[in-house]
A = this chain, B = another copy of it.
Amino acid sequence: MSDYEQQNVPPSSDSGRDALPPVTQHARQYETVRNAHETELIEDYVELIGDLIRHQGEARAADLASRMGVSQATVSKMIRRLKELGLVNSQPYRSLFLTEAGQTMAETSRARHDIVLQFLRALGVRDSTARIDAEGMEHHVSDETLAIMQQFTEKNAR
């Protein structure tokens, strides 16, 4: 009964600047983000396993835990998932290996990660900040944008 309205500035045609995107396109934006989040962690783990093998000769669960900043139990559970997904091979209590599919994913992810990182550095972002930002951004950069970043980096300095 009593009107509880608090403000309710009416549309008045064009209140703000940029209009809202069409509903379908808008929904696609968020859907893309949700999809990226589904694979993000998987990619980071696989990429890290690949990096550990390249840099230290082997990947142990304990290294994953300390580098990820997460408990060993969390890593253990994740490794089970990676095996189920056919990305990792290992015997219990032994170090980890990437399957063919895992190696492919690791390479793809690392390449993408590097492009984003180098782009940020080329833009003028400090190295430690660039590393942090790249870790999150890499999963949300389209191929189109990635290509443009790579060109930019090539042109602008090293």
Contacts and interface: CB of A to CB of B under 8 A. Distances in A.
A7 B106 CA distance: 16
Interface residues of A, number: 67
Q: List the number of copies, as a whole number.
A: 2
Nearest to A136: B140
Given A91-B4, A97-B7, A145 B131 contact: no
A133 B125 contact: no
A54 interface: yes
A136 to B, nearest CB: 3
Contacts of A136: 32-33, 36, 139-140
Contacts of A152: 123
Interface in A6-23: 6-11, 15-16, 18-21, 23
